[in-house]
Amino acid sequence: MAAAPGAKSSDRSRGDPLELPALACGAMSNSKPYPANAAMQTALGFPGELVENWHDKAIARLGELVNGSRALRVYLDSCVKCGACTDKCHYFLGTGDPKNMPVARQDLLRKVYRRHFTWAGKVLPWLVGAGDLTEETLADWYSYFHQCSQCRRCSVFCPYGIDTAEFSMAARDIMDTIGMGQKYCNEIIGKVFKIGNNLGLPTKALKATLKGLEDEIEEDTGVAVELPLDREGADILFVTPSADFFASPHMEGLIGYAKVLHEAGVKWTLSSYASEAANFGMFIGSHENMQKVALRIRKAAEDLGVKRLVFGECGHAWRVAYSFLDTLAGPLDFLDPNYPIPQHICEFTWDLIEKGKLRFDKSKNDHIRLTFHDSCNVARASRMGSKPGGQFEIPRAVLRAVCNHYFDMAPDTIRESTVCCGGGGGLLTDELMDLRTKGAQPRMRALREVAEEHGVTHMAAICAICKAQFSKVLPKYGFDMEAIVSAHQMVSNAIVLTGSKQAEELDAKAGAAAPTS
Partner 1 sequence: MATIVYAALFYFAAAVLVGGLAFHVWRYATTPAPLRIPTTPAPTTRAGAALRVAREVVLFQSLFKSNKWIWLFGWAFHVALAVVLLRHLRYFLQPVPAAVAFVQPYGALAGMAMVGALAALAARRLVVERVRYISGPSDYLMLALIGAIGLSGLALKFVARTDIVALKAFVLGLIYFDWRPLPTDPALLVHLALVAALMIVFPFSKLLHAPGVFFSPSRNLADNSRERRHAPPARLEALARKA
Task: Determine what percent of the chain falls in helix, strand and coil, rounding each to the nearest 5.
Answer: 55, 5, 40
For position 236 contacting partner 1 by CB under 8 A, the verdict is no
DSSP 137-169: HHHHHHHHTTS-----HHHHH-TT---HHHHHH
The nearer residue to partner 1, 49 or 393, going by C-beta atoms, is: 393
Applying CB under 8 A, which part among 33-41, 127-135, 243-251, 471-479 lies near partner 1? 127-135
Considering only residues 129, 200, 222, 228, which one is a binding residue for partner 1 as defined by CB under 8 A?
A: 129
Q: Does 220 bind partner 1 (CB under 8 A)?
A: no
Least distance from partner 1 to the Cβ atom of residue 120, Å: 5
Which one of 225-233, 253-261, 383-391, 504-512 is the stretch in contact with partner 1 (CB under 8 A)?
383-391
For residue 235, state whether it binds partner 1 (rule: CB under 8 A). no
Any contact of residue 98 with partner 1 (CB under 8 A)?
Answer: yes
Total binding residues toward partner 1, as defined by CB under 8 A: 76
Minimum separation from the CB atom of position 370 to partner 1 (A): 23
Q: How many CB atoms lie within 10 A of CB 377?
A: 30
Nearer to partner 1 (CB atom), residue 254 or residue 463: 463
User: According to CB under 8 A, which residues from 323 to 382 bind partner 1?
Assistant: 323-324, 326-331, 340-342, 379-382
The edge-to-edge listing of strands for the beta sheet with 308-311 is 268-269, 236-239, 308-311, 343-344
Cα–Cα distance measured from residue 299 to residue 155, given in angstroms and rounded to the nearest whole number:
34
The H or E element that residue 310 is part of is: strand 308-311
Cis check: omega of the bond before 228, within 30 degrees of 0 = no
Least distance to partner 1, CB of residue 95, Å: 13
Helix (H, G, I), strand (E, B) or coil at 236: strand
Whole-angstrom distance, CA of residue 367 vs CA of residue 260: 22
Which regions of 437-508 does DSSP assign to beta strands (E)? 458-461, 484-486
Task: Give the separation between CA 259 and CA 495, rounded to whole angstroms.
Answer: 8
Closest-CA residue to 409 (of 433, 441, 373): 373
**Nearer of residues 88 and 259 to partner 1, judged by Cβ:** 88
Compare residues 85 and 213 and give the one whose CB is closer to partner 1: 85
> What is the nearest approach in angstroms of partner 1 to the Cβ of residue 501?
39
CB atoms within 10 A of CB 503: 17
Per CB under 8 A, which of residues 5..44 are in contact with partner 1? 20, 23
> Applying CB under 8 A, does 157 fall inside the site for partner 1?
yes
Q: Which of 172, 287, 472, 488 binds partner 1 (CB under 8 A)?
A: 287
Q: In angstroms, give the least distance from the CB of 337 to partner 1.
A: 10
**Rounded (10°) angle between helices 390-402 and 487-494:** 30
Choose, by CB under 8 A, the member of 5, 388, 411, 511 that binds partner 1: 388
Rounded least distance, CB 377 to partner 1, Å: 10
Rank residues 246 and 324 by Cβ distance to partner 1 and give the closer one.
324
Contacts of 267 (CB under 8 A, 6+ apart): 231, 233, 234, 235, 236
Q: Which of 119, 232, 233, 411 binds partner 1 (CB under 8 A)?
A: 119
Nearer to partner 1 by C-beta: 155 or 493?
Answer: 155
Among 103, 109, 410, 456, binds partner 1 (CB under 8 A): 103
- Is residue 162 a contact residue for partner 1 (CB under 8 A)? yes
